[in-house]
Amino acid sequence: MRVVIAEDHALLRDGLTRILRAFDFDVVASVDNGPALLPALITHRPQVAVIDVRLPPTFTDEGLQAAIAARSQIPGLPILVLSQHVEPMYARELLSTPHGGVGYFLKDRVSNVGEFVDAVRRVAAGGTAMDPEVISQLLARREPLAVLTAREREVLGEMAEGRSNAAIATKLRITEKAVSKHINNILTKLDMPPSEDDNRRVLAVLAYLNA
């Protein structure tokens, strides 16, 4: 699977490259600044891109803006964004681009190699991979979620991370039937129509959380 990496920190860039190659990803390009990122994405057309939000020269949002620009030219380009901190505005901007896998992970999460590689694969497959800490902070900001039970909030958090019903059932040690029931209750209480599309379901939940 072809991957483009954008990370200005040399050690982390090298670490990401080694991890992904160890799991049979083909790292076709790695860049360390914003201006070089868009041409790399356009030239190599990767199957997934792993991108630091903040890149030189200004260390603001060059990585995110290059990713969004690339998706306008390569619709559906899967992108996993890495960030040092939870920044809901950046997550919202990325999620607002239509179609294709998206992910938002904190850099500290990369140290859990299995979790990171699973996230890259999920995004490459068109799914969603959101950092649990991002979801936790978004959930804590939403007073209307008080209408949900504690278990429904747990299920919502797992949904927002991009997990399937089967994965949620395993994580929470309940049946898939119970997960489906909780999701129906959540969508009803939040006045959101059910969807058979996992990615659309997660994006809808996150759009609600960010409203």
Q: Cα separations (Å) of 152 from 143, 181, 210? A: 14, 10, 18
Structure tokens at 91: 């997550």
Q: Cα separations (Å) of 130 from 101, 111, 113, 211? A: 11, 16, 15, 17
What is the pTM for the complete model shown?
A: 0.77
What would the pLDDT profile of 45-67 be if each residue is shown by its tens digit? 999 999 998 899 888 888 888 88
Instruction: Tell how strand 79-83 and strand 26-31 pair up.
Output: unpaired
Cα separation, 21 vs 113, in Å, equals 12
Residue corresponding to tokens 């991979």: 129
Q: Tell me the CB-side half-sphere exposure of residue 86, using CA atoms within 13 A.
A: 13
In DSSP terms, 79 is beta-bridged to: 49, 102
Q: State the first-to-last Cα distance of the chain, in angstroms, to the nearest integer.
A: 35
Cα separation, 119 vs 125, in Å, equals 10
pLDDT at 59: 86
Residues of the chain with pLDDT under 70: 86, 88-98, 138-144, 194-200, 203-204, 206-211
Cα separation, 164 vs 75, in Å, equals 24
Cα separation, 92 vs 22, in Å, equals 32
